[in-house]
């Protein structure tokens, strides 16, 4: 591991990072912008004066995705408001995303009741069992995502070029082959690497949890504070299989590269 930068060098680097933080990410370009975002995410996670450091970090990443996707994603995308075939599957979230969503819905009694009820109905179901049961995501209201602005990265990453393929996959379960824009997959993978690297640098694994179980856990008293102190507030929540090795090694490489500068 390289030696940590001096305090003066780290300060200068943060100043140099500033312009990159409001720009789209340059997928496939040099890693300078990506490094700036990882450093920024680390600072957000470490800000213990913020009411919800996780919400600040995920809000930053979500805004970055909103700026980047229109620049990088091309092709005749089939996804439309009101098309919700993909919202009957098991959704995976990271812990910071669960806190972000929980903070967004916690004052909405109807939404909280719906997430608890869906959690009770779906707990322990596999991906296939949940699709077969055709139980909608607790955030789906009248075929529209009621948390669109704060939806998980897995949902942001779901994009189809063919609605018939979505129906075959999510409704009929007769196929598992949905054509997606390659540039969109690459963009969302970069977003996941940024989050994974920042989480690794603040010593948290990028575990994937089932959405409803994770949000119910994140809604409990002071869950985020307890999680930062090391308590496993997601104990018992269904964990989804971890990311493929090449993805994990991309996270490790980025974290090791940025580590001396944070
Ligand atoms: S969070 Fe929103 S976009 Fe994602 S599955 Fe649920 S309703 Fe659909």
What is the per-residue pLDDT for 104? 98
Atom of ligand 1 nearest to the CA of 101: 1
What is the per-residue pLDDT for 176? 85
Is pLDDT of 40 > 90? yes
What confidence tens digit (pLDDT) does each residue in 198-212 have? Answer: 999 999 989 999 999
Please give the distance, rounded to the nearest whole angstrom, from the Cα atom of residue 14 to the centre of ligand 1.
Answer: 35
- 90 ligand 1 Cβ < 6 A: no
- 141 ligand 1 Cβ < 6 A: no
What is the per-residue pLDDT for 23? 92
Task: Output the residue whose Cα is nearest ligand 1's atom 2.
Answer: 145
Is pLDDT of 1 > 70? no
Is pLDDT of 97 > 90? yes
Is pLDDT of 230 > 80? yes
Please give the distance, rounded to the nearest whole angstrom, from the Cα atom of residue 11 to the centre of ligand 1.
Answer: 39
Pocket probe for ligand 1: among 154, 155, 213, the residue whose CB has the most ligand atoms within 8 Å is: 155
- 119 ligand 1 Cβ < 6 A: no
Average pLDDT over residues 208-227: 97
207 and 44 Cβ atoms separated by less than 8 Å: no
What does pLDDT average to over the chain?
Answer: 94
Instruction: Map out the domains of the chain as residue ranges.
Output: 7-261
Please give the distance, rounded to the nearest whole angstrom, from the Cα atom of residue 8 to the centre of ligand 1.
Answer: 44
What confidence tens digit (pLDDT) does each residue in 141-196 have? Answer: 999 999 999 999 999 999 999 999 999 999 999 988 999 999 999 999 999 999 99
Atom of ligand 1 nearest to the CA of 147: 2
Is pLDDT of 243 > 80? no
């Amino acid at each position: 591991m390289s030696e940590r930068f001096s305090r003066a060098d780290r300060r200068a680097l943060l100043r140099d990072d500033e312009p990159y933080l409001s720009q789209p990410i340059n997928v496939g370009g040099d890693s300078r912008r990506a490094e700036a975002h990882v450093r920024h995410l680390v600072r957000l996670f470490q800000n213990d004066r913020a009411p919800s450091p996780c919400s600040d970090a995920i809000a930053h990443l979500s805004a970055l995705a909103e700026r980047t996707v229109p620049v990088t994603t091309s092709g005749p995308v089939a996804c439309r408001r009101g098309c919700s075939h993909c919202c009957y599957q098991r959704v995976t979230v990271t812990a910071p995303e669960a806190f972000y969503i929980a903070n967004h819905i916690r004052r909405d009694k109807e939404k909280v009741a719906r997430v608890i009820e869906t959690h009770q109905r779906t707990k322990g179901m596999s991906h296939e069992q949940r699709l077969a049961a055709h139980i909608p995501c607790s955030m789906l209201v009248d075929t529209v995502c009621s948390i669109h602005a704060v939806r998980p990265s897995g949902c942001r990453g779901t994009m189809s070029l063919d609605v018939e393929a979505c129906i075959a996959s999510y409704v009929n379960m007769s196929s598992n082959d949905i054509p997606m824009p390659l540039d969109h997959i690459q963009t969302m993978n970069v977003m996941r690497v940024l989050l994974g690297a920042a989480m690794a640098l603040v010593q948290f694994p990028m575990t994937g949890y089932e959405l409803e179980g994770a949000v119910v856990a994140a809604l409990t008293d002071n869950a985020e504070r307890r999680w930062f102190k090391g308590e496993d507030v997601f104990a018992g929540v269904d964990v989804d299989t971890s990311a493929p090795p090449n993805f994990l090694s991309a996270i490790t490489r980025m974290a090791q590269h940025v580590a001396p500068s944070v």
